[in-house]
Structures are given as C-alpha cells and as structure tokens.
Structure 1
Amino acid sequence: MIRPVRVALAATLTLALTLPAGAATAAPAASVAPALAAGSPAGAVDRATALRWAADTWRSMVAMTDPGTGLPADNIDGDLATGSRAKYTSPTNIGSYIWSALVARELKLIGERELVGRVDAALSSLARLDRHADSGMFYNWYDPATLELLRTWPVDGNPVYPFASSVDNAWLAAALMIVHNALPQLRGKADPLLNAMDFGFYYDPQALGADVPVGLMRGGFWVEPPPGCSLPGNYRDRGPDVHYTCHTYGAFNSETRMISYVAIARGQVPPAHYFGPWRTFPDTCDWSWQEMKPVGGYREYAGVRVFEGAYRYRGLQFVPSWGGDMFEAFMPDMFVPETRWGPNSWARNHPVYVRGQIAHGLDDAKYGHWGFSPASDPAGGYREYGVDAMGLDTPGYTSDQERTSVDYGFEGCPDRPAQPEPAAYGDGVVTPHAVFLALQYAPAEAQTELAKLRRDFDIYGPGGFYDSVAVRSGTVAKRYLALDQGMVLGALGNLLGDDLLRRQFTPGGAERLLRPVMRMEEFSVPARQ
C-alpha cells in the first residue's frame, strides 16, 4: 500500500514563487486502434469501447467505497480486494467519488436511485467529519471507515499534523457545486457544507505587493504550529490565527487554478484575481531559474498587468504548467469550459499542450507511448512525472525513472548557460489518466494510445486501466487511485455525456463572475500552429 502524495506534490512542487530569484527563496499505429469515426471528439472515439472503460473504472470506485460510511478509500490494490482498501481518504478523493457517481448515472451504469443513495451517504458522512469551524474547510486525511481525523499515519505510524489544503478543498467544493445543480433533492445536505466553505480564508491580498490590486492563494493552513515553515495569520479576521504555508500559488497553468475558479464563482475573492498568477515568470535574469527564457510581453486586464509569456518546445508555443504534466494542465478543464470561455487563451493552449506530450513520448524520448502525469511509481510508492521542457520548474517533472532532464539555459544570463540535450531517455512512465484527459483534444491519438497500452502491457484489470506502466521494462503499478480513476470517469463523462461535469458546475456564479474575466485574455500562443 502506498501513501499517495499528489496533494503534497501540488503544495510542494507547484510552489508559486512571487518574488524574483534574487529576493526569495514513432507515429501512432492505426492498426491497433478500433475503427475511428470522423467528426466531433466524441464521434472520433468508439463509444462501445469507451463505455466498457467507464464501466470497469466505476467498478474500482465502488470497490474503494466503505459500505458503512459511503466514503471512498484513497486507493485499492489491482485485484479490488476489499481488504486492500487504504485506511485514509481526503476531500479530493471524496469529491472524485461524488462526481464519478454522477458520470455513472449519466452513462447508465447505475440508476437514479443508486446515485442519490450513494451521494446522500457521502454527504451524511461529510457532515460528521471534523472541520475547521471558522473557515468551514476540511482537513486532508480521515479514516474512511471510522470518519476519524487522522493524527497518526496508518501505514508507518508517523504523526499527522491536520492541514486544510486549499486545492483539496477546491475539488470537494466543485463536487458540492455539482450536487447543488444536478441533484436538487440533496441540496439540503450539500448546501450547508458548501456555504460554510470560505476560500477567502486562503487569499493573501498582499502576496504580489501593495501596488498590485490582486493577491494569491496560500497552499493551506494548520491549526497547530507544524514542524518547518509556517506563517501565523488570519486573512478573514475570524477566529484564532491559523498557521499558513510559507508559499502561495502563483503558477497559473496548474491544478491549483481550481482554487481561484471556485473562489471567484462563490464570490469570495475579486474576479480580477484570475490575472494574479504568472503565465510564465518574466523574461529577465531575476527569473532565470525557470526552465527557459519565455517569449511574450505584457498586457493589462481589469487593472492587472500580466506578463503573457510562453515557452517553445519542438516547434510548439504554449503556456507551460509547473511540472509539464497532464493533471495540472487539464483537471480544472473537466469542470470549467476553458476552451469555450477562453477562446484566445485556453482554446489555443490545450490542443498544443497535448501535441507536446505526444511529441515527447513518440519523437523525443522515443518510448513508443505518451501520457505523463503524477502517478503510482511502478517501482513502488508515488512520484511526479511530466515533460520537463513543458514545465516552469527547472529541475522539472521528468518522464522516466532515471529523471532525465533538460536545461535550455536562459539566454543573456551568464548564470544559466544551456546544457547539451539528453543523448537518450530511460524507462519512461506512462499513466492512462493522462491519456484520458487528452481525449477531447486528440481523440484519435488518445484512443490509439490506450489500445497500444493494452496491446503492449498487462495494464488492464477488473477496475479498468491500472495506474501506470514503465514502458521499457514493462513494470506495471497494479493499483487504482480514487483521484486518477475520478479523472478517467470525468473525462469520459464530458466526452460521452455532452460536457456533463461542465454543465453541472458552471450555472450561477461561475457563469456570472468567472466567464467574463476568462474571455478577456489572449495568451502569447499563436491561433494556428
């Protein structure tokens, strides 16, 4: 059993640095794919095949769920044995289960009565969990069988310091917003939980300086002083001080933008906060620690001056994520119709970002496969994976076990000379959820890749695709993670269910407050590439 650390990676490796470095710390093989129809993304994917994937993936979510509390475990072994359920869960896992149940109903894998029963049980258990009373936020780790707040890690006995993660709570809030819109008969249970959650508790209005009219979100807070760095404070002046993380989230193309989406949609931070995080960091030597020197320039929106930077990789120009992975780039897009609401930003960026992932796997690293994102490490445990060149972080998330990285240098800055390109890459790790997230933007290529994964590896089990595979050695991580399975079902629900999750998330505040600011922006990404 592993301790999945995706949230910890988000909090640690997606650090949003807000000060300059000196002031702060082979082509797809069509023969292996089912027949592909032309037309819309959904029409380009074989529906019967996709429904089988969804049914099997849903089976893993059911197996992870405790029948007494209705809450999912964080992960389960590949054989779906109930005794292998993890003895911990998080707000993200619970949110994943709730939206996956909506998808299961939409795809007729379960009926309305079962959907309502499952979500009702989960909401009842959520209401019993220990929360931070002044913000309404949930802590990161609970026992899904007893509902106890964890203070000792069940795997190794190490102490757990209760932490209220901003991004974890954002995923749960998204699920509760969907319940409000999709299941009005459960609003009496969902709305009190959602209405108590105040994301302004994380919002540091001075994070970018007194002369910038918007701030940034903290990674979270502890109610007790933790080991290591923390900052006492209380942005709402409500209740005792908490102990905030020492970092804020300032990398825009990251899963952490979901915090901003929820907070803006709920009217808890100003809509112009959307323009606070960096697209890339600026192109001066003060920021030469980032992966490469960006191209682009400044634009102003809603009184906020934004550096519209972009990176270039294999002839493609795009706004990078923090680590170069699919989870960061596309999970928020499961809920917010980014390409429709951002026609000159996300609509340009998302297809190109997928093309970069494909180019890395097939042409650059020559794995014969693609799809890189944090996932189970086939050698044991959990690790971040990505395309190093497509991330802001210089050490980067790498695509192989050997951590083969690139360093393009920073032109004009003597402390960052370019380094030679890698001669070769090692044992690349592909995770199916990354390929599922690409289905909307490269449907034929994604379905081909999923078929190739099944052809080449023992990667499919009773709960659908296992979590990851090291493609040169063929080592498979035979386990299922609630969040990764939730991304698979979310992607399929949108693809086959006419944007199901987006339709249920956006009515109300998201449409009224978030959409107008998203429509303003133009990335430094060409309309055609």
Structure 2
Amino acid sequence: MRKTVPARTLALACALALAAGTAPAAAATPAASAVSVASAVSAPSSVSAVSVSAGSRTAVLRRYAADTWRSMTAMVDPGTGLPADKVSGDLSVRAKVTSPTNAGTYLWSTLSARELGLAGRRQAAARVGRVLDALGRLDHDAATGLYYNWYDPATLQVVRAWPDTGDPVRPFVSSVDNAWLAVALTMVRDAVPEQAAKAGALLSRMDFTAFYDPEARPDAGTGLMTGGYWPEKPDGCSQETDYAHTGTTVYSTCHRYGAMSETRIVSYVAIALGQVPATHYFGLWRTFPDTCDWGWADQRPQGAWRTHQGIKVFEGTYGYRGMRYVPTWGGSMFEALMANLVVPEERWGARSWGRNHPVHVAAQIEHGLNEAKYGYWGFSPSDDPAGGYREYGVDPLGMDTDGYTSDEERTSTDPGFGDCRPAKPEPGDYGDGVVTPHASFLALRYAGDKALDNLARLRAGFDSYGPGGFYDAVAVRSGRVAKEYLALDQGMIMGALGNALADDALRRYFTRGGAERRLKPVLGVEEWDARMR
C-alpha cells in the first residue's frame, strides 16, 4: 500500500504497568460505551500482563486517542483539507504525497474523533466535507471512478516524480487503496448526513469490476482481484486488460490477490457493492494445497477440500508452536486484523475468523516474548528505525516462503514442505526486533490487558511517545525509534480506539446495508481448524 513496500510482498505472485499520559484527558462522550476489549488470549509463560479496571483502561485509551488524533490533524494540508502520507515526530513537517488510503484512514479517524468527543459534530462534518471536495477535484480514471495511487495534497496534482528523489512515478490505480477509500466513503454516507450525498456520489462511480479477473481460479470456478492497473504500459510485467468490457485497454498487474491478508478488503468492498459474486470469497486461498506443486510455499498445510456454494475450497491451516491457523501472506498483524476494523469477521464467521484472529495475536505474543525473547511484541509493516519503510511480521504466520521477519537482520525460518522441501535448522537467536505500536492496538479486541501492558512497557522503556502519540516503530535491542507518524498506521490506531470506546462505531457505519446483506452469509459458512495449543 505504501510506495516502498515491494509489490510481491502484498500479493500472490500469479498464483499490532499502564502508562500515565501527559496530555489532558479527552472530554466525556455521552454516546461512548465502556471499552469492550477482552483478555481472551492465554498469556505465554513469560508475560506479566496487567489487569486493569474498565474505568482505568478507558481513561488510558482515551488519552491515546486524543494524542493520536493530534497527529492526524497535523497531517492535514490547510489549503485542501487532505492528509499527507506522514508527518514528522514534532508534527511540523508533512510529506508531499498522499494516497486514497490516507484519505480513507483520515475520514474514519475523523468519525472516531467525533464519537470520542475529540471533534464536535459540526467540526467533523466540515473536515469530512473538505476531503470530499478535494476528492471531487482530483484527476482520476473517469471510466471507472477510481483514483491513482499518489497525489500532492497541496496542489491535488497526480504525483509523477517522487518528491524526495525525483524518481519517476508512473500513475497506477491500486485496488487495495481504492478499497480503503470506498470503505471510508461508505461510512461517511451512513454516519454524516450533511455529507452523505457527496460521499454517495463518489462511491457510486467506483467500479471494482475493473480489478476482477473471473478466470483467475478456473479450478475453483471463480475469480480473483488484480493488484491494480496502469493506464499506460509500464516497464516489467503487466497484462493487457479490457476492463469492465468497455473496449478500453489498461495494463493490469501480473499478480492476483488470493491470500487471506489485508488485501481481502478489495473482495469485501466489491461484494458489498454487489459488483462481483459473493462466492468470489471462496476463491481466496486459505492455504495453498498440500501437494508438491505448491512446495515453494512456507510450510505444508493440513486440511481438506470442501465445496461451498459450488466453489471448491482447500480449507488448510498452518502450524506454529502448537497452534493452528489460516495464515496471511507475510505474517504481519495488519494483514491479519486491519480488515477486522470494519468487518465483524469474528462474529459473522464465528467458526472461522472467530477462531483464527485470537490465534494470530497469541502467536505474535509467543514469538516476541518466548521465541525471539525481545521482551515486546507486535510486528507489522512500519517505518524502519534504521531508515525507510519495511515489512515486519512473524515468518511462520505467512504463506510466503520469504515471509516478513521480526528483526532488522531478517532472521527467517523454513519448516520445509514435507518430502517436497526439507526443513532448515531453526535460528539460534534473533537480532534487533522491530515492534510497531499499531499492532498492539489492532490486538486490543483479543488481548486487551496484554496489549495495554505491551504499550506501557514500550513507552516506559524507550523514547517512543511524542506529541502525536506513539511513534511509528521501535527497534527494541538497539533502542532506535522511527520518530514519524504515518496516516495508515495512526489511522489503524484511531479505528481500533473508535471501535473499542464507542461500541464498534466504525464497523456499524460500514456494514449497514450491502456489506451485511451480502458478506455475512458467506463469512458464516466455514469451520476452520484454527486453535491455540
């Protein structure tokens, strides 16, 4: 989703002691319910998780929300109302680029701020309105109503040269980025009456069939989504595509999104809008099959073929330290849980996602505390404290053989693939683990006390907290801190806090209507063998 993440790491190749804050507590919110986070995950042996009262927990989360909201507002260009991709740790320097995802996360952060009393109703509506007005002025693909990946938030022009380096940027229409914007527009249409018509008009012109390849899974009888397309032929791999059968040629990515990663949001949006068949959900791979044809994948799964609504599904799971789970692509927290901010997967899919999400959280805790012995946990793509941006995760939680790793040294594991590929020895030790606070916030729903404890220890142990809340990432052995705030990561924090403190407000705003009517029936069908030890 960000420029510096290699495309292959986001897709299948052609196949997140209680801390006291310094900011004043936020104003009371009449509509906000008591925080509804649980401590459902059993603590690994080395965890000393705090147990806090609901009132204390709420006060801490509200303080985190107030500070995080400060960083989101600091990203906003005063002339256009659009947020930048990121802002410096002192909140003084904004990036000169933005994306559809950035606009989306700022819109739902504004709704969270309204729900929590951090922004008044009129102020929130005005902020939302400025974003919608800017979106209406942006150059976009008129045939599909979809947006390009990078814009200058000050001038609203499409970015054609990267500001920091001058490197050329070829305009690209990203399926994931447009999906996150569509999510936010759906929320605004439901939650902000003053702006409902504008949001609805922008949403109604977005055509996600431009990304749908109906022939991508002929073995299953359904299709998959592409990563996006270029209006002009790029260097490297691309495929000529007549999108939406309009007679217009674009150049689609050669990969298709097929893993149960954050990219599933594209499928969710397209299904919710009624633009692709709901059965497309069953075309996503839980794991690849257990044959040597797929022996390049991270590990050999356990599972069986089943048929759901006419679609053949291999319901496989991976294993890690006695746990079973459906993996993501790279093994990161945001891949597992970002979509869950807006879709109540654990309720609609109680026997699938409801089992799977707690295991991913437990496995991240297990890795950080007991396997790698960092003393902290929460691995997800973030700023690299050594410079730049990088993907981080827990390698065995992903399908990619070269999955995301948790340290700067890229210490990986390879459990092999049965007789198809021999296992490699386990690492003797791990290096400088990189932990990002947004991963703990994503885990609040499943390990509330442990997430709060992890955040409090990060704050106490490092210079990891500034005027806009937690900085983006901490290398826990060197002590280096990435002192920036990213719209994507701060937006995930605001989303998690808005749900936790305001009775799942963001989920309600997204799911009323097409999402519940079309998505809920397919999410509730399966029963995954996901379990903790």
TM-score range, shorter chain: over 0.9
TM-score when normalising by structure 2:
0.93
2:318 to 307, 311, 317: 311
* Structure 1 unaligned residues grouped into runs of 5+: 20-25, 38-42
Q: Corresponding residue for 1:250?
A: 258
Q: What's 1:450 paired with?
A: 455
SS in structure 2 of the partner of residue 236 of structure 1: helix
Q: 1:506 to 1:321 in 2, by over 3 A?
A: same
The answer to whether the 8 A contact 1:28-1:448 is kept is: no
Q: 2:11, 2:80 → 1: CA distance?
A: 35
Q: Is 1:172 equivalent to 2:181 in the alignment?
A: yes
- Distance in 2, matches of 1:7 and 1:363, equals 33
Partner of 1:480: 485
Which residue in 2 is equivalent to 1:281?
Answer: 288
Question: TM-score w.r.t. structure 1 length?
Answer: 0.93
Within 1, Cα distance between the matches of 2:215 and 2:474?
43
Aligned CA RMSD, in angstroms, stands at 1.3
Q: Distance in 2 between matches of 1:466 and 1:180?
A: 32
Q: CA deviation at 1:11?
A: 3.5
**Residues 94 and 368 of structure 1: is their aligned pair in 2 closer, same or farther, counting only changes over 3 Å?**
same
Q: Which residue of 2 aligns with 1:207?
A: 216
Where do 1:84-483 residues align within 5 Å? 84-209=93-218, 211-251=219-259, 253-413=260-420, 416-483=421-488
CA displacement at 1:27 relative to structure 2: 2.2
- Aligned identity (percent) is 60
Give 2:11's match in structure 1, choosing from 6, 15, 18: 15
* Match of residue 38 from structure 2: none
Compute the displacement of 1:159 (Å): 0.8
Counterpart pick for 1:66 among 56, 73, 77 = 77
2:52 is aligned, of 29, 36, 56, to 36
- The residue aligned with 1:78 is 89
Cα 1:70–1:175 shift into 2, 3 Å: same
What residue in structure 2 maps to residue 22 of structure 1? none
Shift of residue 8 of structure 1?
A: 5.8
Letter in 2 for 1:27: S
Given that 2:13 and 2:254 are in contact with CA atoms closer than 8 Å, whether structure 1 keeps it comes out as no
Deviation at 1:152, TM superposition (A): 1.0
In 2 relative to 1, CA 301–56 (structure 1 residues): closer, same or farther, beyond 3 Å? Answer: same
Cross-structure match for 1:23: none
1:18–1:208 CA contact under 8 A, matched in 2: no
Q: Per the alignment, in what secondary structure is the counterpart of residue 518 of structure 2?
A: helix
Matched residue SS, 1:243 = strand
SS of residue matched to 1:46? helix
Alignment CA distance shift 1:10-1:103 (3 Å): farther
Q: Deviations over 1:420-466 (max 9, x none)?
A: 10000000000000010000000011010000101111100000000
1:222-261 deviation digits (Å, cap 9, x = unpaired):
001111111111231125211100111111x201000000
Contact 1:294 1:310 in 2 (8 A): yes
CA contact (8 A) 1:18 1:250 kept: no
* In structure 2, C-alpha distance between the alignment counterparts of 1:45 and 1:259, rounded to whole Å: 37
Cα deviation digits, residues 341-370 of structure 1 (max 9, x gap): 001100000001100000000000000000
Q: Report the alpha carbon displacement of residue 524 of structure 1 after superposing the two structures with TM.
A: 2.4
Aligned residue identity for 1:525: A
- 8 Å Cα contact 1:279/1:320 also seen in 2: yes
| 1:117-151 superposed Cα distances (whole Å, 9 cap, x missing partner) | 00000000000000001111000000000100111
Alignment-mate amino acid for residue 481 of structure 2: V
CA contact (8 A) 2:215 2:222 kept: yes
Question: 1:519 and 1:95 mapped to 2: Cα distance?
Answer: 27
The farther-off stretch of 165-174 and 152-161 is 152-161
Distance in 1 of aligned mates of 2:349 and 2:506: 18
How far is 1:7 from its partner?
A: 5.9
Partner of 2:26: none
Give the conservation status (yes or no) of the 8 Å contact 1:296–1:309.
Answer: yes
Aligned amino acid, residue 454 of structure 2: E
Q: 2 CA distance for matches of 1:421 and 1:195?
A: 51
Question: Residues of 2 paired with 1:499 and 1:7: CA distance?
Answer: 31
Superposed displacement of residue 44, structure 1? 8.7
Residue identity opposite 1:445 in structure 2: K
Aligned counterparts of 2:55 and 2:366: Cα–Cα separation in 1: 21
Q: Distance in 1 between matches of 2:129 and 2:46?
A: 47
Structure 1's 148 and 235: CA in aligned 2 closer, same or farther, altered over 3 A? closer
Residue aligned with 2:488, SS: helix
Shift of 1:6: 3.2
Distance 1:243 1:44, change over 3 A: farther
- Whether the 8 Å contact between 2:4 and 2:390 is mirrored in structure 1 is no
Alignment of structure 1 residues 472-511 onto 2, 5 Å: 472-511=477-516
Q: Determine the structure 1 residue equivalent to 2:2.
A: 6
- C-alpha displacement of 1:29: 3.0
Cα separation, partners in 2 of 1:239 and 1:108, compared to 1, 3 Å: farther
Alpha-carbon distance in structure 2 between the residues aligned to 1:431 and 1:525: 25
Q: Distance in 1 between matches of 2:358 and 2:384?
A: 27
Q: How far off its partner does 1:521 sit?
A: 1.3
C-alpha distance after superposition, 1:278-313 (max 9, x if no partner): 101010111111111111111111100100010110
Instruction: Check conservation: 2:364, 2:394, Cα contact below 8 A.
Output: yes
Give 1:86's aligned amino acid.
Answer: A
Structure 1 consecutive aligned stretches of length 4 or more whose deviation exceeds 4 Å: none
Contact 2:498 2:504 in 1 (8 A): yes
| 2-structure distance, mates of 1:255, 1:45 | 32
Q: Secondary structure at the match of 2:103?
A: helix
For 2:256 and 2:101, locate their aligned partners in 1 and report how far apart those are by CA, in whole Å: 20
CA deviation after TM superposition for structure 1 residue 28, in Å: 2.7
The change in CA–CA distance for 1:226 and 1:44 in structure 2 (over 3 A counts) is: farther
Contact 1:291 1:391 in 2 (8 A): yes
